[in-house]
Amino acid sequence: MVIKAVIEIISFLTIVPVSKFSSKNNDLENLSKNMYLFPIVGAIIGILSIPIVIISFYFFNQLIAGFLITSFLIIITGVHHTDALADFADGIMVKGNKEKKYKVIHDPRIGSAGVVAITSYFIGMTVTISSYTGIERLIVSLLLSEIIAKYVMVLQAFFSDSAWEGYSSLFTKNMKSKRKIIISTIITIILIILIGQITQLIIQVFITGIVCCFIIIYVSKKNFGGVTGDVMGATNEIVRLFCLISTT
């Protein structure tokens, strides 16, 4: 049951063809009930990035390696979270009420704020990754940042309400369970312990992720009245970047 749920989450969060997931039927309802397993998929994404890290740093200089690793992380998630970051930025920057921000977020066109957000994110990721002096430290940091980024998405669903009815409302509704948030926290802690013994890195990444989580919740509440699917997707990118920055 857990394995099937993890496979469905992999299909939802990445482009890895492991199952036929569809958001047009009950699949999304079932998947949202298993959101507490997101950190496991974060670990899997981190593991998949390891060969890319090793090959990139072996054959190319650090800046190009940073570019390739960043590109891989964006592509493997189907560019969905990066697109969400652009929508989130556009929604925050536009002046107006909740309804106007709703229209901007759901507009398929990317505004100037979105372009700046994506560009800044890509440059930030590339420069940050290329700043690491050791491959081992980078691999550990990538694993930790992916796990924490997915855990923060779970925390958002637990602590927030959906800004409006849609995909995000399923996740916020089905994650209002203390049992699930406790299980997700335990899973996250176990995964972090399994990664290794670099205690300082673990503390830095965990604190960074939690701080980012509640800042984004506050900003989303103020601008939209709650979280949205785009907010959660943007959170993944923001938390990943700042976790990596905190461990360089």
pLDDT in tens, 206-240: 999 999 999 999 999 999 988 988 999 999 999 99
Residue 161 pLDDT grade (very low, low, confident, very high; cuts 50, 70, 90): confident
Whole-number average pLDDT of the chain: 90
Q: How far is CA 102 from the centre of its chain?
A: 21
Q: Are 8 and 23 in contact (CB under 8 A)?
A: no
Query: The tokens of 222 are what?
Result: 């103020």
Cα–Cα dist 217/88, whole Å = 12
Instruction: Determine the Cα angle at 93 with ends 91 and 98, to 5°.
Output: 45
CB proximity list for 13: less than 8 A, separation 6 or greater: 38, 41, 45, 77, 150
pTM here is 0.93
Mean pLDDT is lowest, of 21-30, 126-135, 197-206, 207-216, for 21-30
Mean pLDDT is lowest, of 1-5, 121-125, 172-176, for 1-5
DSSP codes of every residue in 62-94: HHHHHHHHHHHHHHHTTTHHHHHHHHHHHHHHS
Q: What pLDDT does 202 receive? A: 85
Cα–Cα dist 6/73, whole Å = 19
Query: The tokens of 77 are what?
Result: 């998630």
Q: What pLDDT does 23 receive? A: 55
Q: Above pLDDT 70, what percent of the chain?
A: 96
Residue 16 pLDDT grade (very low, low, confident, very high; cuts 50, 70, 90): confident
Given a cut of 70, whether residue 198 has pLDDT beyond it is no
Cα–Cα dist 110/198, whole Å = 40
* Higher-pLDDT residue of 130, 95: 130
Q: What is the mean pLDDT of residues 64-79?
A: 95
Given a cut of 80, whether residue 1 has pLDDT beyond it is no
Q: What pLDDT does 116 receive? A: 95
Q: What is the mean pLDDT of residues 45-50?
A: 96
